[in-house]
Amino acid sequence: MDASKELHAGAEARSDYLEKVTGDARFASDIVVPGMLQGRILRSTVPHAKIRGIDASGALAMPGVVAVLTGKDLQGINSHWGLYLKDRPIIAIDRVRYVGEPVAAVAAIDEFAAEEALDAIVVDYEQLPFVVDAEEAMKPGAPLLHEDQVTQKDFYFRGEAKPVAGTNVFQHYEYAHGNVDAAFSKAARVFEDRFTFPMVFHYAMEPHVVVADYREDSLELWSCAQAPTAVQKVCAQLFGIPLTKIRVHSPYVGGGFGGKASVKIDPLVAALSRKAGRPVRVCLSINESMLTCRRLSAVIDLKTAVDDAGNLTAKSVRVVMNGGAYADTGPAVAIKSAIRAIGPYRFPHLKLEARAVYTNTVPGAAFRSIGGPQAVWATESQMDIIAAALARDPVEFRLANMVEKGEIVRPDLRPLDVDLKGALRSAVAAMDKVSANGPGKCQRGIAVAATDPGILPIAGAIVRLKIDGSVIVLANSVEIGQGVRGALRIVAADALNQPLHLVTVGEPDTEFAPYDWGTGASRSTVVVGLAVQYACADIERQVRDMAAQVLGGQPAQYALVPGGVKGPSGETGLRDLLHRFYGIDSGEFIGVGRVTPNSGQAGFGLAPLFWETAAGICETELDEETGEVRLTNYVSAADVGRVINRKAAEGQDEGAAIQGLGHALYEQYLYEDGQPINASLIDYHVPTLDESPQQMVTLLLESGDGPGPGGARGMGEGGILPVAPAIANALAAGYGVRIRDLPLTPERVWLALREVEKERKK
Amino acid sequence: MNFRIDAVLPASPTSIWPVFFDLGRVAALIPGCENVEELIPLASYSAVMNQKIGPFKMSVPTQIAVDRIEEPSHVTLRASGRDKFTGTTLAVLLSVDLEAAAQGGTRLEINSEIQIAGRLASLGFPVVKKKSEQLFAEFEKRLRAELELV
């Protein structure tokens, strides 16, 4: 791709930068459809209750109110949906299971009328016992949230959830190789630790927003969803409309982080439009988005054995995740958390177990590196605990036990395809350099991670090369701020050898762009990028064939050049070529690219498609009087295969690290009496610029051997993983404080410091 | 929120018991509880709870239902209501147990589960919780004083 630098000189790959800063960018909330109403949602105020009745007559009598949707309106359609388990009603029917669950929705001529009408709806609840904690929810006699657990096999992810009948467990995953019990009994040392990770919010700047236009036999949506084809599929199942009659547009999305992955509010807005008989826009507040989904919290128990030489020999991982009131993608999150807790280490004996559990809380959902931050928090904290107990340097201890590139972590998974040892060494060297320039009074901590992105190799793209040399790429990869349109633009420009400024990537639209599984799991640049490459190769083949037919010679003698084709007799413009072929001054080339499990030289059927790894090193300062931790310096390193757009890639990695900083120091949902008591921007804190590190280095290593375009590997999620354990490890190294629960709030750190003082005095 | 009162009172259970069934007398002990009406004797009552929480004034029409009575030792009652203005709902489950103490007098145990839900609870739970604690503490103080008169 080196030639691309000259070809694209001076051009900015991401057109959204300028559109966003000038206010020209179009988001779903900007969409106006003729006759459109505004919708607002009445939410459950109680954690668990039967609905005895809903009186909406007062709301319907108010000026400007057109319709009120309640569970009674779901008759005649399929009322329940889900990705793994069909457990969620479009809107509560006869029961609510968490504070914030939609109970009624109002469509009115404006948002004010709709909001006012909510207060006039009276819901009669019969309260039921509730449970907020996952381990409590697993106990016999705990309130049962769902009596029936209807699974859907291979519906969104491959496979099927394994719920435990008659309990709140909606996923139970187990894996083992070797014999951990025998290995523990023979081990020189065995370490057992419990770690907890709280519920945290995605905090995308744009809340959930959908415009739906339900007609008699069709449905059109403008959605913030990260997976428009999943929205299409779920709505088709619910409303009984053919896929071709459901059209989903994906304008710019103001951040997703998994909170808009799969399907969220689209069925509800579609049902409200169906009831109102008019298009409806529903734009949640951020407070409401906090009641829509969040990361699954986790309790992780690790038991790890080492031999006399300090080699890791066995590991047992037990994860219990709080999945909230509805399963969503929680079954996949639970599996990934168990796998990601292995770490990039060699374990001859391994046992994994994960459960995801229903509770009366906001539904858990996918979030940047599903299950990863929870797992890596536990594993990388414990790696330092073990290293300290064995009097080993934490870097050296990790390197001694880390798998090499090409070595397996688990026999059924693709061997590690990156040099993580090299990445860790690079990060250490970079931090040494940063420290040399810094204040030199900080404590250092490290952590690494290797995760297996759950990427299904299903993607498609259509590319059209016009007579004037301009190019348009059509794909259903959603621009959620990560820069995918820019990346695809570069890939198409390079593959077709056309200048970047003539390449456009269209707004995703299921009516025109081919099927794509969805935007997430660090997959778009790799699999959709490849689909674009394949589509461009299809075009190149067509151009060569046409050139050979029109100009003479063999197809192989021709190659694309900017604006034309070059062959034995020199360059010919595309316009001239098409004119001569069709006999008029018109025409275009259309290429189609598909990625399937059979794609790629090594085959894309083996999971993971690539390993996403990360090495993070932090230097922190601690105010011992207040317990306040400050991240002073941070180095993040990852082998991303090939950087397609450096500015955007660095932004992804740095953004992930700052999001990880929030998880580490500040963020958590707080529940009291079944009520989420800090679900607002006033009470829930994410890092500000002030709290960001003074020095931050991002090392994007390019081995060039990933499965994507130019050897690219996916990235954007890995950077979030090492931050929390690295900071906790720095606190342990510097102050003897080992904290096993996140976030590392000043109160928690201060109390831990006092405990250490007490122990020292004894 | 769960609240509990434990006390040993000098009077016998049978002499304390009537206090809990003179609803006007009990209502006077609950700060802000007004307009108590008996709908069905020993079964159903209505009242209005007037409270000021932070900047919000709430007026909660409350229905009270007696779930179980075992004279003179046990009563369970439920109260529920909704403030129209703030959309705040109140649900209380209260149980009172009276038991003759071995050394004489009565062992009193009151257990109360209070759920406050709605916008106020979501946005200002710490304030709501503090107010509830204050109300219950005041109720306990007044009840003890009242029972000392028995």
Say how many Å lie between the first and final Cα of chain A, rounded.
Answer: 64
Token representation of residue A70: 């309640």
CA R_g for chain A: 27
pLDDT at A1 over 50: no
B118 and A680 in contact by Cβ < 8 A?
no
Pair type for strands A459-466 and A471-474: antiparallel
Give the model's pLDDT for residue B30.
Answer: 86
By the CB < 8 Å criterion, does B144 face chain A?
no
By the CB < 8 Å criterion, does B14 face chain A?
no
- To the nearest whole number, what is the mean pLDDT of chain B? 86
By the CB < 8 Å criterion, does B122 face chain A?
yes
A723, β-bridge pairs: none
Give the model's pLDDT for residue A7.
Answer: 55
Distance in angstroms (rounded) separating the CA atoms of residues A117 and A113: 6
Least Cα separation, residue B81 to chain A (angstroms)? 10
Residue A88's nearest CA partner among A101, A76, A77, A73 is A101
Number of neighbours of residue A78 by Cβ within 10 angstroms: 14
Distance in angstroms (rounded) separating the CA atoms of residues A192 and A304: 7
Give the model's pLDDT for residue B15.
Answer: 87
Measuring CA to CA, how many Å separate A714 from each of A302, A514, A528?
A: 29, 21, 11
Percent of chain A at pLDDT > 90 equals 93
8 A C-beta contact, residue A59 and residue A130: no
Give the model's pLDDT for residue B126.
Answer: 77
Q: Work out the burial of residue A552: count CB atoms within 10 Å of its CB; fewer than 13 is exposed, 13-18 middle, 19 or more buried.
A: exposed
Give the model's pLDDT for residue A258.
Answer: 97
Least Cα separation, residue A88 to chain B (angstroms)? 22
**Which residue in chain A has the smallest CA separation from B118?**
A45
Angle between helices A394-401 and A372-389 (to 10 degrees): 110
Distance in angstroms (rounded) separating the CA atoms of residues A493 and A499: 6
Least Cα separation, residue A672 to chain B (angstroms)? 8
Least Cα separation, residue A58 to chain B (angstroms)? 12
If one compares A320 and A599, the residue with the highest pLDDT of the two is A320
Least Cα separation, residue B117 to chain A (angstroms)? 5
Backbone angles phi, psi at A31, to 5 degrees: -70, 130
B89 and A46 in contact by Cβ < 8 A?
yes
Look at the block and give the residue holding tokens 């489950």. B93
Token representation of residue A373: 């931050």
pLDDT tens-digit map of A285-294: 999 999 999 9
Going by pLDDT thresholds of 50, 70 and 90, the confidence category of residue A3 is very low
**Which residue in chain B has the smallest CA separation from A669?**
B122
A127 and B118 in contact by Cβ < 8 A?
no
Order across the sheet with B88-100: list the strands. Answer: B2-9, B106-117, B88-100, B74-83, B56-70, B44-53, B33-40
By the CB < 8 Å criterion, does B84 face chain A?
yes
Per CB-CB distance under 8 Å, the chain B contacts of A122 are: 82
Question: What would the mean pLDDT of A156-181 be, rounded to a whole number?
Answer: 97
C-alpha torsion sign, points A516, A518, A521, A526 = positive
pLDDT at B150 over 80: no
A743: preceding bond cis by omega (within 30 degrees): yes
B84 and A119 in contact by Cβ < 8 A?
yes
B1 and A680 in contact by Cβ < 8 A?
no
Q: What is the pTM (predicted TM-score) of this model?
A: 0.92
Distance in angstroms (rounded) separating the CA atoms of residues A154 and A156: 6
By the CB < 8 Å criterion, does B125 face chain A?
yes
B115 and A46 in contact by Cβ < 8 A?
yes
Going by pLDDT thresholds of 50, 70 and 90, the confidence category of residue A694 is very high
Question: What would the mean pLDDT of A125-145 be, rounded to a whole number?
Answer: 96
Per CB-CB distance under 8 Å, the chain B contacts of A287 are: 122
Per CB-CB distance under 8 Å, the chain A contacts of B119 are: 45
Say how many Å lie between the first and final Cα of chain B, rounded.
Answer: 30
pLDDT at A436 over 80: no
Q: Work out the burial of residue A647: count CB atoms within 10 Å of its CB; fewer than 13 is exposed, 13-18 middle, 19 or more buried.
A: middle
Per CB-CB distance under 8 Å, the chain A contacts of B78 are: none
Give the model's pLDDT for residue A637.
Answer: 97
C-alpha torsion sign, points B114, B115, B120, B124 = positive
Backbone angles phi, psi at B110, to 5 degrees: -120, 125
**What is the three-class DSSP state of A647?**
helix
Order across the sheet with A209-214: list the strands. Answer: A65-69, A102-108, A37-43, A280-283, A209-214, A219-223, A246-249
pLDDT at A603 over 80: no
H-helix or E-strand containing A494? helix A484-496
Q: How many CB pairs under 8 A join A and B?
A: 42
CA R_g for chain B: 16
8 A C-beta contact, residue A365 and residue A259: yes
pLDDT at B63 over 80: yes
pLDDT tens-digit map of A704-728: 999 999 999 999 999 999 999 999 9
8 A C-beta contact, residue A145 and residue A359: yes
**Which residue in chain A has the smallest CA separation from B81?**
A124
8 A C-beta contact, residue A475 and residue A213: no
If one compares A648 and A2, the residue with the highest pLDDT of the two is A648
Least Cα separation, residue A731 to chain B (angstroms)? 31
Backbone angles phi, psi at A511, to 5 degrees: -75, -25
A677 and B122 in contact by Cβ < 8 A?
yes
Distance in angstroms (rounded) separating the CA atoms of residues A345 and A410: 10
Question: What would the mean pLDDT of A629-658 be, rounded to a whole number?
Answer: 96
Least Cα separation, residue A676 to chain B (angstroms)? 6
B122 and A679 in contact by Cβ < 8 A?
yes
What residues does each domain of chain B span?
2-148
A127 and B115 in contact by Cβ < 8 A?
yes
B117 and A45 in contact by Cβ < 8 A?
yes
Pair type for strands A471-474 and A503-505: parallel
Q: A interface toward B at CB cutoff 8 Å?
A: 45-46, 99, 119, 122, 125, 127, 287, 672-677, 679-680
By the CB < 8 Å criterion, does B67 face chain A?
no
Give the mutation candidate from A122, A288, A677, A678 for the B interface (greatest B CB count, under 10 A): A677
Per CB-CB distance under 8 Å, the chain A contacts of B129 are: 672
Give the model's pLDDT for residue B24.
Answer: 75
A45 and B89 in contact by Cβ < 8 A?
yes
By the CB < 8 Å criterion, does B76 face chain A?
no
By the CB < 8 Å criterion, does B119 face chain A?
yes
Give the model's pLDDT for residue B140.
Answer: 87
Q: Indicate the residue of B88, B91, B129 with minimum beta-carbon distance to A672.
A: B129
8 A C-beta contact, residue A417 and residue A609: no
Give the mutation candidate from B115, B119, B120 for the A interface (greatest A CB count, under 10 A): B115
**What is the three-class DSSP state of B119?**
helix
A99 and B123 in contact by Cβ < 8 A?
no
Q: Which residues contact A583 (CB under 8 A, 6 or more apart)?
A: none
Q: Indicate the residue of A45, A119, A672 with minimum beta-carbon distance to B125.
A: A672
Q: Indicate the residue of A45, A122, A679 with minimum beta-carbon distance to B118.
A: A45
Question: What would the mean pLDDT of A159-185 be, rounded to a whole number?
Answer: 98
pLDDT tens-digit map of A462-490: 999 999 999 999 999 999 999 999 999 99
- To the nearest whole number, what is the mean pLDDT of chain A? 96
A675 and B125 in contact by Cβ < 8 A?
yes
Distance in angstroms (rounded) separating the CA atoms of residues A606 and A412: 9
Q: What is the 3-state secondary structure (H, E, C) of A361-421?
A: CCCEECCCCCCHHHHHHHHHHHHHHHHHHCCCCHHHHHHHHECCCCCCCCCCCCCCCCCHH
Least Cα separation, residue B123 to chain A (angstroms)? 7
* Record: fold of B2-148: Alpha-D-Glucose-1,6-Bisphosphate; Chain A, domain 4 (3.30.530)
Look at the block and give the residue holding tokens 């461009």. A536
Backbone angles phi, psi at A87, to 5 degrees: -115, -5
Distance in angstroms (rounded) separating the CA atoms of residues A397 and A395: 5
Q: Indicate the residue of A673, A676, A677 with minimum beta-carbon distance to B115.
A: A673
Question: What would the mean pLDDT of A642-655 be, rounded to a whole number?
Answer: 96
Say which range, A117-131, B39-53, B64-78, B119-133, has the weakest mean pLDDT. Answer: B119-133
pLDDT tens-digit map of B6-32: 988 888 888 888 887 777 788 788 888
A127 and B91 in contact by Cβ < 8 A?
yes
Q: Indicate the residue of A45, A677, A679 with minimum beta-carbon distance to B126.
A: A677
Give A212's DSSP letter: E
Residue A354's nearest CA partner among A169, A168, A607 is A169
- In terms of residues, how long is chain B? 150
Measuring CA to CA, how many Å separate A261 from each of A19, A150, A229, A245, B16?
A: 24, 21, 11, 22, 61
Strands (E) in A94-140, as ranges, are 95-96, 102-108, 122-127
H-helix or E-strand containing A97? none
Least Cα separation, residue A673 to chain B (angstroms)? 6
Pair type for strands A564-567 and A312-324: unpaired
Distance in angstroms (rounded) separating the CA atoms of residues A655 and A651: 6
Backbone angles phi, psi at B48, to 5 degrees: -125, 130
Q: Indicate the residue of A119, A125, A675 with minimum beta-carbon distance to B122.
A: A675
Distance in angstroms (rounded) separating the CA atoms of residues A713 and A728: 29
A677 and B125 in contact by Cβ < 8 A?
yes
Residue A454's nearest CA partner among A329, A321, A257, A609 is A609
8 A C-beta contact, residue A204 and residue A261: no
Backbone angles phi, psi at A265, to 5 degrees: -100, 0
pLDDT at A69 over 50: yes
